Structure 1
Amino acid sequence: MNDMPGSLQGVTPKNWRKKRMPITIAFLAMLVLTATFVLFLTYYASDVRSDVRSHTENLLEPHWHAFSRAWDRRVLLLEGLRAFAESNLDGSTSEMGEKYPRFAAVLHRQVEGIRGFSVAPGGVVAFIYPFEGNEMLIGHNLLGDQRPGAGTAVARTLASGEIALAGPYAQTIGGEPTFEAFGAIRGRDGFWGMVSSAIDVRPLLKISGFDGLSQRLALAFRSLDGTVFWGDPAVFQNDPVIRHLEGFGQTLEVGALPVGGWRAAVLPQLTAVYTVGILGILAMTGAIFLFASRHSGLARTIRLRTAELALSDERFQESEKRAEKALRVSEEQLRLALLGTKDGLWDWDIKTDYVYFSPRWKSMLGYAEDELEDHLDTWKSLVHPEDLAQTIAATRDLAAQRTDEFAVEFRMKHKDGHYRNILSRAFLVRNSQGEAVRLVGTHVDITERRRAEEALKTSQALLDKAQRLTHFGGWEMSLAELTFNCSDEIFRIFGVPIRDFKPNLPEFFQMVHPEDKPMVLEHYRESVETGKFRSYEYRIVRPDGSIRWVHSTGEADLNEQGVPVQIIGTLHDITDRKQEQEEKEKLETQLIQAQKMESIGRLAGGVAHDFNNMLSVILGSTELIKARAVLDGPASGYLQEITKAANRSRDITRQLLAFSRKQIIAPKTLRLNEHIHETRKILSRMIGEDLHLNFHPGKDLWTIKLDPFQLDQILMNLIVNARDAMPDGGTATIKTANVVIDTNYMEKHYFLTPGEYVVLEITDEGAGMDKETLRHMFEPFFTTKTLGQGTGLGLATVYGIVKQNNGFINAYSEPEEGTCFRVYFPRANGKEIPPAQEETQSLEGSETVLLVEDSKPVRELIAGILEEIGFTVLAAETPAEALILCEKEDIPIDILVTDVIMPNMNGAELGNKVAAMRPGIKILFMSGYPEDFIAHRGVLKKEVHFIQKPFSMKDIADKIREIMREEIQESD
């Protein structure tokens, strides 16, 4: 102990006085050092605890985010199950049960941690996947679930329609925690049922990496009600780091702290600091004591220190030389590096405006090393005038410490006159007083990069424009996250503002047309299972309610195991093409209908001539028999039946010509109301006593232009149709009205054209017609009546007459709701022609008739009829024979009656030659051919007289008398 420095043993009063002052100084210094160390230790301990807490938060954060994503994804899978159930509501429960296992298997394979999916019609579990291990849940009533929190979650999804969570529950083996997710399903009539899924927490903890943290952190999870379902509950009693997960009506918390607690985490660092601090205090106290007690050694110490400083200065100079050498090496390395990266270097002395420009800096702008002055003005003269102000402002911001970096892009003028895009980066050098003295930086030529970026922008703009013009959009879907990445055109196709649409699978299914959802779901399932994507078409419903047709195509990307991980495809808006296709099909239907009409018309026109000639012989012969013979008994009845059959055949021929629009007509200006009044008695007799006929005439009805015979055909056919629709009796109603068709009216009646019309409406209370019958009702020979009760020509005849007169007809009907026919006649411009007064006149005639007819039976019959009436008949088989007779001036001829269609010379040509030979002669043409066949022969002009075969004795007599009467009026 006597050898220890500062020992007090053997101290004399004289020595004590020498050592008392150093001891006092050392003691006071120790107190100051101890107080300072205690204060430092307090702040340091707080910093250490903050560092440990931050470190704990950093360890926890990525795992918590991974857990959150995995949690949300498993809950959102229930949205896919709900979309499946909603798309199958229209089918039977058994059909849903057949499809459910396949769809649920797809969902179940996508992630770990789903214990099971279930569908509960009416709230009672009917389907569950996987079935094994969950079969006891079949029949479980979710609406009456008594587990804590389950009722609240069920009520929440019933009220809001959103997915709701309940739990945790110890349902798995070993009591592992499980949460239950519920989703309500609503059908057209309200609540339909529910879907649910059970989510195991343990796999989620493993996936998110929490298991690996157990050696470093003490962790615990708890639910909204404070139940700790994983980890040590004591964690939440020791001020842990806490993270929250909220959503779906549930809040989860994770608490974390270092293993052993906060004290154990900071104690090693504090112990080391404490030990070092105590040792430091003792060492410094001893040093101060020694320094204070050794005044005599101070001079020696100064000499020693001076020598050490000299040695140190020598070593410093050597070190400075080494540093200068290292600096030169470093600068050379920097120069070589800049040459390799093609960057230019500059160094600006702020006080003198001297700027060093490296050779690469100058060559970047096309200059040699000696062509530019090293001054700030050189740089200013080369910067584009539009960019100079912002570049200088960035420099000032850096000097004023308003920013920590200098990275500015501007344009500089090349030696050949064009501008280059330059990216400049720099750092500021300050002196010991903090003043900015230098700015050192680099120049990078990014012209080509900017051109590439502009080309990319142009290409992207062209792509966007092409997608917009062609209505093509691109998309990709992650099968892991069930999210979409879409081009802007996709948003336009779906009719939603860009980026407002949530690009995920449930939101997508919400916009698919309900009738197409099962098909889209099936395509999605097939793509996930097989990795193949088939093109298909379906409809979407936009937020505004409009429906669009889209065509989707794509392909799946597979991972190394061959499992699809994403699908990339395109979506094409094909609504316009669909509409064009529908219009094309409509036009094709109309064309087919027109072709049918044309075919029947050709058939009718082809047989009309020969058929009318035969009917002329039959009808004419019966009239001659009646005129020349007196028949009693059965023979008279037989003759009457022959006449009826021939007239019926004549009417059928006229109907065929009418609906094919080949009938020869004589339109007149008519008043529809008056015509209906005149024929009402006949119509009433046609429908019988069991039916009642009402007529509601329109006021101030316009006139129409129509052949009266054709109007009778329309009325009779429509009234007979009404009668046949009401076999047990009822009421048929006739209405008339004026109608003006404009563009607004045409929106609801697309088959009309603008104009003024008179409408004839005939309504019955019969069985009505379905849509299929309505589509075919105007087709010739189409009938719903039994064999022998109808020809199928009635409505076809009406349709042909209406179209022939530039009108329109449409029918409105539903099964058991009756039928309403509306006929639109164009308004006539002329005045009504009053009907001629009937005169009781004799059929006798006295004129001489030149008859020309190439058919012998017809010629002989017509000659017989004319002679029976009293005419003198000159019969000729050919036009040549007729011309020979005309050349004989001694033979008087008052009127020429000739067939139109004859070999070698037609009737019109014969008429012209006869008129030239005998001026003033009257001519009457006759034919059994339809209108379109004889129209271009020039015999249907207004001033030409014509009679249609077959005709009666009275018809031919009246026609000749009418012609001769005109001659008398002209002579007067």
Structure 2
Amino acid sequence: MSEHSEILENLNTLVIKASKEAKFLYANTYWEELLGIPLQHIKQVPFYELIHPADIKATEEAFAAVLVHGQPVIGFRNRYRKSTGDYVWLEWTARLDSEGDVVASAIPCDEKVALEEHDKKASTLLRQSEGMAKVGHWSVEFESGELFWSDEIYRIHGVTKQNYTPTVDSAIAFYHPEDAPRVSQLVSEALTKQSEWEFTLRIIRADGEIRHVRSQAKISRNSSGEPTSVFGIFQDITEFIKLNRQIQKLSKVAQTPATGVVICNKQKEVEWVNQAFTKITGYSIDDVAGMNLARVLHGDKTDQNTVEKIRNGLAKDENIDVEIINYHKSGKPYWNNLIISPLVENGETTHYIGFQNDITEKKTREEELLNAQKVSLAGQMAASICHDFNNILSILGASVELISLKDKEGQYAKLLSKASNAVNRGQSITQKLLKTTKISSPSLEIFKLDDFLRQEASLYEDVIPSSIDLQVDCMADLYVECDKNAFADVALNLIINAHKAISASGKIAVKTRHERHFNALKTYTFCKPKVAEDYLVFSVSDSGKGIAQSELNNIFMPFYTLREDHSGHGLGLSSVAAFCDKHGCGITVESELDKGSTFSIWFPKAKEQKKKTKPRHAKPSTSLSGVRILFVDDERDLVALNKASLESQGAIVYDFCDPQEALSFAQSNADNIDIIVSDQTMRGGIQGNELIDLIKRVRSDIPAIIITGVSSASALSDCQYPILQKPVSATTLKHAITDNIGSV
């Protein structure tokens, strides 16, 4: 064996000499060691039989390039089969020798191929990752100033490697004109001072689109610590910026409205609330985070049926819309319109979002409207009853008076006295009932309420037994405008009710105070006062048995009473409600069982007015002799009785039950009429005040009197004629007639 042959045999390199027939003419022993195949077999078969099928074509082409074209081959790779059936990668260097054969050497390169494959996959994954994250990487060499961009940075800028070669200056030119100076300064400082940076600015792509980008730079150094390059990342964050702005807008939307918003997890535990929620409930996110709101917002007045409805709806993941009483952090109850919707992801409920609206004001208005409607309806019924009842009382009263005139010897005096008293009692009841309606118009007067109460104090002491301590404490010193007589009845009603609420001994306090604003916290409000700058609050408190909260809605209704013996007519508080409605006052009630009640009337403050001096008239005649009276009423019996009574006093009476017939008569005989006496509410279309107005078109100086069974009806609020309330006695009617004839 020659020296060269010995060297070839001991090399860890594969060496061969191949013929044109693709057979090894020579192969060193390393082949047998590497493949595990006898060297003799390797030389006998065409080497294509040992090559991986997928590499045969490429091997044929490389072999032909050397053999036919004489081109050397460097770095060609293929795979040879081992005795185990596995394949080994070989990297070849081949040339044509002087004899026309191919000589070549190869080294195993499995590890190199695996490493290159790994690098290839890593490079692919890097490109894919950069594309998904919209993040690229770049570098600038200190010595050459050469700029490198990864594929993603080309894409972000809207250019390709084929049509653009990046340089530092051209890359800076992509930035928005407002941002480019800052980028230029940062790059310069990085290259000269080795400064690092991180910024978020704008670029303008090749197509003109503006994109928001984030760039970060670090200095790369060699083992000696010397800077070699600036390396960095470059990320397109345009979509993130847009999303962040949208989130900010949505956050502002969630925080801005008056609607409270709360988000809870599947376990109904609070995760987030907005500012409106805090304003409505008083609770911040720190107060309720991780808590179930039912434990925080529910209280004694919270309806358990509604709570159960909410629970069932949540269990079924249904939308919920309820009105429920919740409690503020301060303990004050409020009405809440609660809407809850499940948030569903991938078919499963993950959260609940709740919307809260404080509807206390709305519910209060609804309750006040309902109370007003109840009072109005009761008033209309009362007015209708009173009209008919007063007509009956008028007939009875007139009949009693006529019988009394004929009973010269007084044979029926006692019976007539009882009948007269019964008529008066009936009249008293109808007057009380009418005070509960809106029909009557108050006779307004401006006065100091404190002075009036001090004057009435002795009357209150007379009706209250000595076992009850009555205190009158007037501290307001303000003027009010109301019907003084009506208020006297209201005050007396409240004091008597306070007395009845006390079983034996106790206290009643009558007070006035000055309030700047209407404040009904922790009290029941039946109706609010009209808006004013100041209020005088008149209150009556007792130490009696108190009133259940469930009864407060009913106590101001006519004929409703809480007295166990059902004494009284149940008209006292309804007349108080009617008084307040007519005068624009408010009513509040504070009551607790076994501790007592406080009823408060809120008067808008009135300005003091100087008293006007009424003119004096000459004393009228007291005789009806020869007085010609046009008397109109749709109650035939009442007309007949009044005609008989008036004629017995010397009057001449033209009586009519039909107002249309009365009008026709008056239009033809106006000069023969001294005074008109007419009922107000009549069948036939024409009412009393309308009838008088029509007659006065013929003769304007005729005096007139209106009689009504429903107090001063609303149609008479601006009436200039005297008004008499039925039943009217003969004496009252006589004086009214003579007074009006005498004042003309």
* TM-score, normalised relative to structure 1: 0.50
Alignment map for 1:675-714 (pairs within 5 Å): 686-687=463-464, 702=479, 704-706=481-483, 708=485, 710-714=486-490
Structure 1: distance between partners of 2:539 and 2:460: 15
Q: Quick check: 1:647 aligned with 2:457?
A: no
Which blocks of at least 5 consecutive residues in structure 1 are unaligned?
1-317, 559-565, 968-972
- Partner of 1:605, secondary structure, is helix
Give the corresponding residue for 2:15: none
1:116-157 residue CA offsets vs partner (Å, 9 max, x unmatched): xxxxxxxxxxxxxxxxxxxxxxxxxxxxxxxxxxxxxxxxxx
Other-structure match for 1:928: 709
Determine if contact 2:493/2:573 at 8 Å carries over to the other structure.
Answer: yes
Question: Percent identity at matched positions?
Answer: 21
Which of the two has greater helix per residue? 1
Structure 1 position 864 matched with structure 2 position 641: no
Q: Give yes or no for contact 1:781–1:792 (8 Å, CA) kept in 2.
A: yes
Deviations along 1:375-428, whole A, 9 cap, x unmatched?
Answer: 76555666744323334545567xx7x99xx99988776555667758688995
> Do the aligned partners of 2:376 and 2:437 also contact (CA within 8 Å) in 1?
yes
Residue in structure 2 matched with residue 874 of structure 1 by the alignment: 654
CA distance in structure 1 between the partners assigned to 2:536 and 2:142 by the alignment = 97
2:339 and 2:146 map into 1 onto residues whose CA distance is: 67
- In structure 1, the partner of 2:3 is none
Map 1:172-571; keep pairs closer than 5 Å.
Answer: 341=127, 350-353=142-145, 384-394=180-190, 415=206, 421=213, 428=220, 430=222, 439=229, 446-447=235-236, 450-469=237-256, 471-474=260-263, 476=265, 486=271, 489=274, 512=296, 568-571=350-353
Aligned pair partner of 1:724 in 500, 512, 518? 500
Distance (Å, rounded) in 1 between the aligned partners of 2:518 and 2:734 = 53
Amino acid at match of 1:714: V
Which residue of the partner structure matches residue 9 of structure 1? Answer: none
> Aligned-pair distance for 1:602?
1.6
- Preserved CA contact (<8 Å) 1:512 1:539: no
Please show how residues 486-885 of structure 1 align to structure 2 within 5 Å.
486=271, 489=274, 512=296, 568-572=350-354, 574=356, 577=357, 579-580=358-359, 582-630=360-408, 632=410, 635-663=412-440, 665-668=442-445, 686-687=463-464, 702=479, 704-706=481-483, 708=485, 710-726=486-502, 728=504, 734-735=510-511, 737=512, 739-743=513-517, 751-752=528-529, 753-755=531-533, 760-786=538-564, 789-825=567-603, 827=606, 829-831=608-610, 844-846=623-625, 847-879=627-659, 882=662
Give the whole-Å Cα distance in 1 for the aligned partners of 2:566 and 2:405: 34
CA distance in 2, matches of 1:668, 1:490: 49
Which residue identity lines up with residue 255 of structure 2 in the other structure? Answer: R
For each residue in 1:549-574, what CA deviation from the matched residue of structure 2 results, as whole angstroms up to 9, or x when unmatched?
7877758999xxxxxxx983134352
Contact 2:709 2:726 in 1 (8 A): yes
CA distance in 2, matches of 1:668, 1:496: 49
Q: Is the 8 A contact 2:620 2:743 kept in 1?
A: no
Q: How many residues are aligned here?
A: 603
Residue correspondence of structure 1 range 883-922 to structure 2 within 5 A: 886=666, 892-900=672-680, 901-903=682-684, 905-922=686-703
1:898 to partner: Cα distance: 2.3
Against the structure 1 CA distance between its residues 836 and 811, is the aligned structure 2 distance closer, same or farther, given a 3 Å change threshold?
farther
Contact 2:393 2:727 in 1 (8 A): yes
Does the 8 Å contact 2:386/2:430 carry over to 1? yes
Distance 2:671 2:205 in 1: 117
Counterpart CA distance in 2 for 1:586 and 1:369 is 74
Q: Which structure 2 residue ranges, 5 or more long, are not aligned? A: 1-103, 131-135
Report the CA distance between 1:372 and its aligned residue.
6.3
Question: Are 1:740 and 1:754, in contact at CA under 8 Å, matched by a contact in 2?
Answer: no
- Alignment match, 1:949: 726
Task: Give me the whole-angstrom Cα distance separating, in 1, the residues matched to 2:161 and 2:143.
Answer: 24
Amino acid at match of 1:661: K
What amino acid sits opposite 2:500 in the alignment?
Answer: D
CA distance in 2, matches of 1:354, 1:677: 104
Contact 2:138 2:233 in 1 (8 A): no
Paired residue type of 1:897: V
- 2:148, 2:700 → 1: CA distance? 122
What are the Cα deviations for residues 761-792 of structure 1, in whole angstroms up to 9, with x where unaligned?
44445434343344432221111224552221
Separation in 1 of the partners of 2:637 and 2:188?
117
Does structure 1 retain, via aligned residues, the 8 Å contact 2:660–2:684?
Answer: no
How much has 1:807 moved relative to structure 2? Answer: 2.9
Cα contact 1:609–1:928 (8 A) shared by 2: yes
How far apart are residue 888 of structure 1 and its match? 7.3
1:676 deviates by 5.9
Q: How has the CA–CA distance of structure 1 residues 959 and 573 changed in structure 2, closer, same or farther, with 3 Å as cutoff? A: same
Deviation (angstroms), 1:956: 0.8
Residues 658 and 797 in structure 1, CA contact (< 8 A), matched pair in contact too: yes
| C-alpha contact 2:518 2:535 (8 A) present in aligned 1 | no
* Alignment check: 8 A CA contact 2:387 2:710 kept: yes
Q: Aligned in 2, Cα 1:556/1:962: closer, same or farther, shift over 3 Å?
A: same
- Please state whether the residue corresponding to 2:183 is helix, strand or coil: helix
Q: Is the 8 A contact 2:636 2:657 kept in 1?
A: yes
What's the offset of the Cα at 1:616?
Answer: 0.5
Please tell me whether the aligned partners of residues 435 and 579 of structure 2 are also in contact (alpha carbons under 8 angstroms). yes
> Match of 2:550, SS?
helix
Conserved? CA contact 1:668–1:833, under 8 Å: no
Superimposed CA distance per residue, residues 459-497 of structure 1 (whole angstroms, 9 cap, x where no aligned partner)? 4334434543564454557x9xx9x89458599869888
| Change in 2 beyond 3 A, CA 1:321/1:348 | farther
Task: Give 2:645's aligned amino acid.
Answer: I
Instruction: Give the structure-2-normalised TM-score.
Output: 0.63
Deviation at 1:855, TM superposition (A): 2.5
Report the secondary structure of 1:659's partner residue: coil
* Residues 669 and 832, structure 1, Cα contact 8 Å, conserved in 2: no
